[in-house]
Amino acid sequence: MSAIGVRKEAKLLVVEDERNLRELLETELRRSGYKVEAAADGEEGLEKYRQENFNVVLLDVKMPGMDGVEALRLMRAESNVPEIIVFTGHGTIETAVECIRHGAYDYLTKPVKLDELEMVIDKAYEKNRLRIENINLKLEINKIEEHQRIVGKSQVIQKVLETVRRWGVTDEHVLICGESGTGKELIARAVHDASRRKARPFVTVNCGRLNANTAESELFGHVQGAFTGANKGRAGLFELADTGTLFMDEISEMPLDVQVKLLRVLETGTFRRLGGNHDISVDVRFVFASNKKLEECVNRGEFREDLFHRINLLPINVPPLRERPDDIIPLSYYFLKTATEGEGSGWEITDEAMAALAAYSWPGNVRELRNVIRRASILATEPIISSDLLPFSPPKTPPLPRPAGSSAGEASPLPLWVIERDHIQKVLEKVEGNKSRAAKILEIDRKTLYTKLERYGLPT
């Protein structure tokens, strides 16, 4: 968040007994854009503090009556504690250090330089904002009912869920596309739960795991004697899903000859068991999923074009986790809660760990995030997920690229994030800084581009 954005949102309380300094700080900080309240002593400051929610408190250490140390102690005992910056004269440095030990964010010596003060305030506010967001996210996760399976507050995932709600009530077949690990099966279940069939069977099949020789038997069933070893007849998945939903994952992996028979089921609602001689009618709503682009599969002759057009009536595209960065922390707390058998509300994720989680590119998407959180919770010796428990640790400030002219043997291979940063820089240079064109070339939305620019310290 920019300094201007911080100053529009940050609410400050100045507790200072020297009238001239108090009024000067109040005037100048308001002029800089902060929302400011002031108090003349510790008692008044504590009273105002209890009446309103402040993000940052500027607290003089040496005051008549209740001094800053006592005011700090009482404020720290309250809930929703702000970050507290103490003012001290040269003769009370030792007291200021004592305040730091008791939870003060920082201390400044008098006379206070306004630009230095504003820099410390901005950093204190950012820490306070992250901590409050951390608390709110945990509360939000704790409110999630057990039957709810999709966690996310980003605009892109909310758009997906709105599409699910809108199309779930229809009886048309749905095609869900997205990278591996993005949660396509959860979306399929959400479609089922939004339909009139929600109390009926939800049957899943991974077409990539179907044996080419037995795929028909698995889907359509078989009669006794249909093949060697078929000692008795068996219903297939189509019959098991009757009146409900059949979720067919990795549909691109289905053998071409079986695709022909699937198309007939979609068109007529009937099929024959393997070896059978009469049609069986079923009422099934199909939800398909693919981690491949089916158009490309069609062009390569790996997927029937007529089947593609039949199942592509209501497509839902599930975005990869890197395009929904706002969901990373809520998902982390959700997985932490499930990994610790409901005890996740008592766990913490440090600011450094949250920064590392937010900066990682997540090639394995939500599935990878779940596994990372589970692993960290197992390795933790106390209920805190710190950055050293994560299998990656991206630096807060990206290092400079390798100097021009250095040989490949003089440096280690570049990490993936450095390659991504440099590629984004090159694309921006090519389009002369046009963010919309750059996002289109990079095949990401503008919000994701801006997130990456801020993460890598590039101009926004």
pLDDT at 147 over 70: no
pLDDT tens, position by position, 76-126: 876 567 899 888 876 566 777 778 877 888 888 888 888 889 999 988 888
pLDDT at 383 over 70: yes
- Return the minimum-mean-pLDDT range out of 190-199, 238-247, 275-284, 388-397: 388-397
- Return the minimum-mean-pLDDT range out of 51-55, 141-145, 351-355: 141-145
d(CA 43, CA 65): 8
Confidence at residue 146, expressed as pLDDT on a 0 to 100 scale: 37
C-alpha triplet 443, 448, 454: angle, nearest 5°: 130
d(CA 460, CA 453): 6
pLDDT tens, position by position, 441-456: 988 887 788 777 766 6
| Nearest in space to 57 (alpha carbons), one of 18, 106, 110 | 106
Rg (CA), the chain: 30
pLDDT at 460 over 80: no
Could you tell me the pLDDT band of residue 369, with boundaries at 50, 70 and 90?
Answer: very high
Q: Count Cβ atoms within 10 A of the Cβ of residue 53 and give its class: 0-12 exposed, 13-18 middle, 19 or more buried.
A: exposed
Characterize the bridge pairing of strands 245-249 and 202-206: parallel
The helices-and-strands tally (H runs, E runs) of the chain is 19, 16
Confidence at residue 402, expressed as pLDDT on a 0 to 100 scale: 44
- Its pTM stands at 0.56
Structure tokens that stand for 296 in this block: 């490309």
Give one DSSP letter per residue of 72-118, joined into a string.
HHHHHTSSS--EEEEEE-GGGHHHHHHHHHTT-SEEEESSPPHHHHH
Which H or E element spans position 289?
strand 285-290
Could you tell me the pLDDT band of residue 288, with boundaries at 50, 70 and 90?
Answer: very high
Tell me the average pLDDT of the chain. Answer: 82
Confidence at residue 113, expressed as pLDDT on a 0 to 100 scale: 86
Sequence-ordered strand ranges (E) for 308-453: 314-317, 348-349, 384-385
Confidence at residue 395, expressed as pLDDT on a 0 to 100 scale: 44
